[in-house]
C-alpha cells in the first residue's frame, strides 16, 4: 500500500524543517520538503538595482519575497523535477509562512496537490501582513493566534494550537536527575516582549519553578535583575530538544 504523500514548504529556520519532515515520516508520510529558497542553485542578482530594490521592500514593507520572485524560473523547474518521482502530484501540501513564497510557486504547488492544500501562519497575521494576499490560494488556512480570527471575521481562518514533536528519541543519558520543575524558553529580544518575559520569570520563580531562559540579541542593559541567559548565537531546534531533556 502506498504511503500518503505530502509536500512541506516552510522556512529552514534553524533546522526545524528537518525536524517536522522527519516527524511526518514517523507518522507514515512520504515527504518532499522545500525551504524558502527552494532551489539550491546559487543565485546572482541580474544587476545592482535588483539588490537595492530588495532592500527597499524589506525595510519599508517587511517584504522578504522579492528575491524569490527573481528566482521563480529556477524554483518552478526545481519543484517540477522533484515531483517526477511522484508522477508529478502529491496528495497533500502544507505551507508554513506562505508569505515567504511567491504567488507563482503557490499556484504551482496547489495545481499539483490532489487533496488538501493547507496553509499555516505561525506568526500573527499583522506581523507579516503580506500573508493576507496568500490566503486565497488555500483550501484550509490555519492561524495560532485567536485574535487573528476575531479581527478578520470575513476571512476563512481556522484556529489551531502550535505543535509538538513526538518522534524525537528520549535519552536516559540526558535525562535530568533534578526533580524540580524547570521552564525552558528560547527567543529573540523584542523590546515590546521584555516586560511580559520578566513577568513570566517572576511568576515561575514564585511558584518554585526553575527558569532556563535564553534571549538572543538582548542589549547589555536588559534583564539584569533576572536569571536570564543573554546569548548572541542561535540555537538549532534539534539542540533545543536535547536541552529540554537536560532541564
What does the pLDDT look like over 71-89, one tens digit per residue?
Answer: 899 999 999 999 999 999 9
On whether the CB atoms of residues 212 and 183 are closer than 8 A, the answer is yes
Q: What's residue 173's pLDDT?
A: 65
| 186, 214 Cβ separation under 8 angstroms | yes
pLDDT digits (tens, 9 = 90+) for 20-45: 999 999 999 999 999 998 998 887 88
Average of per-residue pLDDT across 57-77: 83
Cell of 202: 517572576
- C-alpha separations of 87 from 25, 82, 195 in Å: 20, 10, 53
Q: Which long-range contacts (CB under 8 A, 24 or more apart) does 121-128 make?
A: 121/96, 121/97, 121/148, 122/96, 122/97, 122/162, 123/97, 124/148, 125/152, 128/62, 128/97, 128/99
In angstroms, the CA 109 to CA 104 distance is 9
Q: What does 83-136 look like in DSSP terms, one character per residue?
A: TGGGTT-BSEEEEESGGGS-HHHHHHHHHTBSS-EEEEESS-TTTSGGGGGTGG
The model carries a pTM of 0.85
pLDDT at 148 (0 to 100): 93
Three cell numbers, residue 99: 508569505
Can you tell me which residue has the cell 509562512? 97
Q: pLDDT value at position 174?
A: 57
* Average pLDDT of the residues in 207-215: 95
Amino acid at each position: 500500500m502506498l504511503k500518503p504523500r505530502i509536500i512541506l514548504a516552510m522556512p529552514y529556520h534553524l533546522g526545524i524543517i528537518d525536524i517536522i519532515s522527519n516527524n511526518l515520516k514517523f507518522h507514515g508520510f512520504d515527504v518532499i520538503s522545500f525551504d524558502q529558497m527552494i532551489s539550491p542553485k546559487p543565485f546572482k542578482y541580474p544587476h545592482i538595482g535588483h539588490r537595492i530594490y530588495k532592500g527597499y521592500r524589506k525595510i519599508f514593507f517587511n517584504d522578504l519575497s522579492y528575491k524569490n520572485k527573481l528566482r521563480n524560473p529556477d524554483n518552478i523547474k526545481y519543484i517540477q523535477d522533484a515531483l517526477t518521482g511522484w508522477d508529478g502530484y502529491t496528495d497533500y501540501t502544507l505551507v508554513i509562512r506562505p508569505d515567504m513564497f511567491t504567488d507563482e510557486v503557490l499556484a504551482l504547488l496547489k495545481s499539483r496537490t490532489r487533496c488538501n492544500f493547507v496553509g499555516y501562519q505561525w506568526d500573527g497575521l499583522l506581523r507579516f501582513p503580506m500573508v493576507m494576499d496568500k490566503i486565497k490560494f488555500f483550501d484550509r488556512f490555519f492561524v495560532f493566534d485567536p485574535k487573528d480570527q476575531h479581527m478578520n471575521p470575513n476571512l476563512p481562518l481556522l484556529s489551531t494550537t502550535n505543535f509538538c514533536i513526538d518522534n524525537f528519541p528520549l535519552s536516559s543519558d540526558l535525562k535530568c536527575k533534578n526533580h524540580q520543575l524547570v521552564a525552558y524558553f528560547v527567543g529573540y529580544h523584542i523590546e515590546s516582549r521584555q516586560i511580559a518575559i520578566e513577568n513570566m520569570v517572576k511568576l515561575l520563580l514564585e511558584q518554585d519553578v526553575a527558569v532556563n531562559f535564553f534571549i538572543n540579541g538582548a542589549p547589555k542593559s536588559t534583564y539584569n535583575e533576572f536569571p536570564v541567559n543573554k546569548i548572541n548565537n542561535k540555537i538549532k531546534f534539534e539542540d533545543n530538544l536535547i536541552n529540554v531533556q537536560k532541564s
